[in-house]
A = this chain, B = another copy of it.
Amino acid sequence: MKIGTVTGSVWATRKAACLQGQTFLVVNVEDGPIVAADQVGAGVGDRVLLATGTVASRYCMDAPVDAAVVAILDPEGR
């Protein structure tokens, strides 16, 4: 799993119907920014743990997403 820092969010009016209601955060990981669905409630500046691939989709009720925030690291964590 990757550790990254939330830097913002993205918005899309035109999207797959099954993405309705998902929140998408931009997360900076070591090899650049990726977009992840968030159901944990992370905000800008939070260091988060990401699950990727089919695992992320399952966690998001099978929505077509391939990255999801699954935890917010405690400030002292690492």
Q: Which residues of A contact B (CB under 8 A)?
A: 1-3, 8, 10-16, 18-19, 24, 26, 30-37, 39-41, 49, 51-59, 62, 64-68, 70-74, 76-78
Ranked nearest first, the 10 interchain pairs of A and B with the lowest CB-CB distance are A15-B71, A12-B71, A59-B64, A1-B35, A14-B72, A10-B77, A51-B64, A55-B57, A16-B70, A11-B77
Secondary structure call for the A interface: mixed
Q: How many copies does the complex hold?
A: 5
Q: A54 → chain B, closest Cβ, in Å?
A: 5
Report the bound CA distance from A67 to B3 in whole Å: 12
* A42: nearest chain-B partner, CB-CB: B14
- Tell me whether B41 and A14 are in contact (CB under 8 A): yes
